[in-house]
Amino acid sequence: MSRYNSTSLIKDDSENSRRGTTILPAVDRSNTDIYIITTTPDRLDKLAHKFYDDVSLWWVIATVNGIGRGTFIVPSNTRLRIPSKSQIKDLIIKTNRSR
């Protein structure tokens, strides 16, 4: 369930390569969303593992909550919205197919 499946590979004049920017549409609120309040400092990758069984989906939690720029740490007493695993999977598949 990678967000990079349809991302183009870009090479510069020196043959260095990088992935193009992948921008996913907004994740709409759903009645299947889970809301949590962290009681101790936590990490985005550990939360992704807990809710999605995939640490690489940390960016989903960061994106929908507007956090994570420069750090994986989520301070205690932070309210987080966790979209459902099926909603995220469907969104990624739909986005990859449209490219």
Q: Domain-by-domain residue ranges, the chain?
A: 9-97
pLDDT at position 42, please?
A: 94
pLDDT at position 38, please?
A: 94
β partners of residue 79: 37
| pLDDT per residue of the chain (99 residues) written in tens, 0 to 9 | 555 555 566 777 777 777 666 666 788 898 999 999 999 999 999 999 999 999 988 989 998 998 977 889 999 999 999 999 999 888 888 877 776
pLDDT at position 20, please?
A: 63
User: CA-CA distance, 8 to 17, in Å (whole number)?
Assistant: 10
pLDDT at position 23, please?
A: 63
Q: Which of these, 68, 72, 60, lies nearest to 28 by C-alpha position?
A: 60
